[in-house]
Amino acid sequence: MSLPTDSARWSLVKSLFDEALQRPESQREAWVREQALAPEVREELLSLLAHSTGGHEAAPGFLEQPAPTLRELGRSGWPGMRCGSWELLEPIGSGGMGEVFRARRADGAYEGLAAVKLLKRGMDSAQVLARFAQERQTLARLEHPHIARLFDAGLSELGLPYFVMELVQGRPLDQACEGLALEQRLQLFLQLADAVAYAHRNLLVHRDLKPGNVLVNEQGQVKLLDFGIAKALDPLDGTDAGQTRVGERPYTPHYASPEQVRGEPVNTATDIYSLGVLLYLMLTGVRPYGRQASTPGEAAHSVLMEAPTRPSTLGPEVVSDAHWLATRQRLRGDLDKIVLKALEKPLERRYASVDALAGDVRAYLGGYPVSARAPSWGYVTGHFIRRHRLPVALSGVALLALIGGLIGTAWQMQEAQLARAQAERRFAQVRQLANKLVFNYHDQIASLPGATQVREALLGDAVGYLDGLNQELGQDRRLARELAESYSRIAALQGDAFSPSQERLALAEQNLDKALALLPSYLDSSNRELEALNNATEMWQGRALLHSRAGRLQRALDALEEGRRLSARALALAPGNKEAISQLATLKGRMALVLGGNYSQACLGRVAEAGTQWLEALALFEQLVASEPESPQWLNQLAWARNGLASWAVLNGDGDEAVRQGRQLIALRDRISALEPNNGNFQQQAAMTRSVMAAALSAAGRPKEGLQWLDQAGLILHKINRQDGANRAASRDAALLQLVRARTLHLAEPGAASRLALLNALRGLPDSAELHHDFYMTRWRAEALIWNARAHSSRPSDAEQALSYAEQAQALLKRLPDNPDNANLRWMMAQALGEQAQAQRMLGRDAAARLSAGQAMDLWGGGSAAAAPAYFKTWIERDRRSAEGR
């Protein structure tokens, strides 16, 4: 693990530089030398101050002024330039906002080549930087054999952002088709369609499918590149080379859809249209229209006004591909229909999905009827005969039997029409049953003691029904919404960290992804259904929670931003709607957690901002409670916000405020439990509230009082677990409660009893081998190891054991994805290193202790006030003294 990263260090330097400029010039150097900074940070900061406008006050935006461009540096500027662990070798391409270089791995870790995309100097406006960052985040989400992989990302020596991608040696798709048989071209298209469908399932629309973004390597494998304008982006100003802008949307005119040209909202149908253009090009060697267009405007006009020519009717005056001229008769019929259906200008007349388009291509290759054509008797029987030519040719008797079979097939088709109404009735019954399983039947047993296992079985059955319905979705917007909301509800019940569940996080993510993938099918910009908007907002909040629990903070922020947009639409429709207000308040609370509102969760370390978000959320929930004082729903959400504020106050070092919020929180939770005494969720929350109160009392220097609250919490959870042994969330909370109690006991009365309690708490948590990138639980186990190290660091005879615990904590944390944005990961790693330093000092290993403590101080941010919250001040001061050898 290499924390902090270069980008994190640069952020620290910039912050300190701005702070230094607020002081008189004569005092700046002395102020910098007084700060507890790593040597390289201190020297970089002094150098910047020395060069800031000749010793005068720095001009505004000094740190934002551009460094020399590659062109200004000359051709010698790029060979040998480093981008992280990669050395640039030669340019291989240039786009609108980035230049692409061939690069080699230069740090000795391994040998390899890659493509490095480096933002062009002069393009580094805030909007383009946002787009470049979005492309990096988009690529990080995608892992597919036909999509170029992302290896690395960071800032170059010139201060420009870059990312490192798989180097694809290949030719553009249209060139790769030259000389290939029709079947080979269609197989390449199916590889591309599979990649685009995968992106759609990951909630991304490429929006710039064109030959230059689809390469085919020497092994005949398609690689999809360049997600620079994927739909996850907001519309941005500026144009890319080869692109035009209409309605503030970037696109490539010859391959854009009509809605892109008109500047209308886009969805997966946009990529389906562009795939149609590419398929036309692959089959004929020319574009479907606009072949005479010489400007982007003319090309855009042809997209809107020209009808595509049927591929099989093109003549030699248009197509020069000799192979196509020999096979164009094979395009007549099915392939014509497939291509033209994908190129329908009205969205609703195109294929419903990329999978449907690919399905028709596969059907053509297999000799089966395609959905793009009406299933007439002659059409269906003709395909049947072509698939069975050999048996027909071998025997006249077989032919007569076949004809008889075809007559029977025709009769069966008529019977099928008569049966269709009955099938539709059965479909409606299955649809109704799935809905009742998720909402009606589940809710009737959800709060009953011991119901968790039955709930899980019921939800599993419901998913089976929903998946079956999803296969038959078609263009049914109402069904799409029902499926999305049902999948979302199941995901919440499988993976909600704060409710009774079996902690099926992987299943929860799968079902929530199914829900979100359905949103474009019914929730476009014209949708004004308030309930649908509120429910979709909740889906994105759930996705953010699961991302955050895994430590994927940027993806959590992206999900919350999607939710915020939907929430704004809902409130614009109905400013006083209580559910919309509740969703907004919850979004603020979720944002607080990601920013830095809780010591036990992955966060960005922006504690002050988190406090503001919690206060705003609390005010909105108080507004709802005031309107309906006895509503368990609003009271429960208000308690959630108070819980967040209490935990935030602990992290912020304000023990008294934490205790004040904790007392109000317990009174509120007990009131809710009295309103619904049989609700297992509310009982579980009442127990964990007491854990928050104990942490608040410890932060206020009163850990002995905290033990009493923890004993009450233990009794409540013991009752819940006795009644419902399958409730893994309650079992998890009981294990965490045991650790919190042992930690509190050590603060109150350090000694043999607290050491034994901490050891037992460690044994009660999941073993390291059972943890799979679950930041939340991995972090708790690391904390147990750290507190066991602290408990053993008071006696020289236990120093070796203390060192072992601290090293185990460090090794466990290193197994997590290396995410420099995750401040909580840095704080935990700093504590592990600090405990190692303490043990090493007791063992007489002073040099090693200074090294470990120095590494801890680097992770603490040098101990500056803005680097780590006040909760850690005791350990920061201790590590500073150890690093200085005191």
* DSSP of 439-507: IIIHHHHTTSTT-HHHHHHHHHHHHHHHHHHHHT-TT-HHHHHHHHHHHHHHHHHHH-TTSS----HHH
The 3-state secondary structure of 526-570 reads: CCCCHHHHHHHHHHHHHHHHHHHHCCCHHHHHHHHHHHHHHHHHH
* C-alpha separations of 22 from 34, 604, 720, 852, 867 in Å: 16, 26, 57, 34, 19
Domain range list for the chain: 6-64, 70-165, 170-373
pTM, to two decimals: 0.52
* C-alpha separations of 471 from 302, 372, 524 in Å: 36, 18, 21
Contact 308, 292 (CB under 8 A): no
Residues with catalytic roles:
208
Half-sphere exposure of 693 (CA within 13 A, CB side): 26
Half-sphere exposure of 364 (CA within 13 A, CB side): 26
Of 567, 579, 573, 686, nearest to 631 by C-alpha is: 579
Distance CA 637, CA 643 (A): 10
Terminal alpha carbon distance of the chain? 27
Of 61, 63, 146, 77, nearest to 118 by C-alpha is: 77
Distance CA 528, CA 524 (A): 9
Which residue numbers belong to the known binding site?
Answer: 117
Contact 525, 490 (CB under 8 A): no
Q: Helix 553-573 to helix 578-595 angle, to the nearest 10 degrees?
A: 160
Q: DSSP of 618-676, one letter per residue? A: HHHHHHHHHHSTT-HHHHHHHHHHHHHHHHHHHHTT-HHHHHHHHHHHHHHHHHHHHHS
The number of beta carbons lying within 10 Å of the beta carbon of residue 238 is: 15
The tokens for 42 are 């201190």
The tokens for 287 are 């574009």
The tokens for 756 are 């034994």
**Residues 6 or more apart from 216 whose CB is under 8 A from it?**
170, 171, 172, 173, 176, 188, 222, 223
Q: What is the CA radius of gyration of the chain?
A: 31
* C-alpha separations of 411 from 17, 369, 397, 405, 415 in Å: 84, 18, 21, 10, 6
The tokens for 131 are 């787009």
Residues of the chain with pLDDT under 70: 1-15, 18, 36, 40-41, 44, 47-79, 94-97, 120-141, 227-251, 317, 320-326, 374-465, 495-503, 723-730, 768-773, 862-866
Q: Which residue has the tokens 């049989």?
A: 678
**H or E stretch at 833:** helix 823-842
Distance CA 163, CA 155 (A): 8
The tokens for 408 are 């029977």
Partner residues linked to 217 by β-bridges: 170
The number of beta carbons lying within 10 Å of the beta carbon of residue 355 is: 14
Strands 222-224 and 214-217: antiparallel
Domain 70-165 sits in CATH at 3.30.200.20
DSSP 8-state secondary structure symbol assigned to residue 222 = E
Q: What are phi and psi of 637, to 5 degrees?
A: -70, -35
Contact 161, 151 (CB under 8 A): no
Distance CA 436, CA 441 (A): 6
The 3-state secondary structure of 347-369 reads: HHHCCCCHHHHHHHHHHHHHCCC
The number of beta carbons lying within 10 Å of the beta carbon of residue 575 is: 9
- Where would I find the H helices in 354-451? 354-366, 377-387, 389-394, 396-435, 442-445
* C-alpha separations of 439 from 146, 162, 459, 478 in Å: 39, 47, 10, 17
Burial grade of 303 (CB within 10 A; 0-12, 13-18, 19 or more): buried
Of 531, 590, 533, nearest to 566 by C-alpha is: 533
**Residues 6 or more apart from 211 whose CB is under 8 A from it?**
172, 173, 174, 175, 278, 281
Q: Which residue has the tokens 């010859």?
A: 254
Which residue numbers belong to the known binding site for ATP?
Answer: 117
Q: What is the per-residue pLDDT for 261?
A: 85
Say which CATH topology domain 170-373 has: Transferase(Phosphotransferase); domain 1 (1.10.510)
Rounded to an integer, what is the distance from CA 874 to the centroid of its chain? 35
Distance CA 694, CA 443 (A): 33
Q: What are phi and psi of 774, to 5 degrees?
A: -90, 100
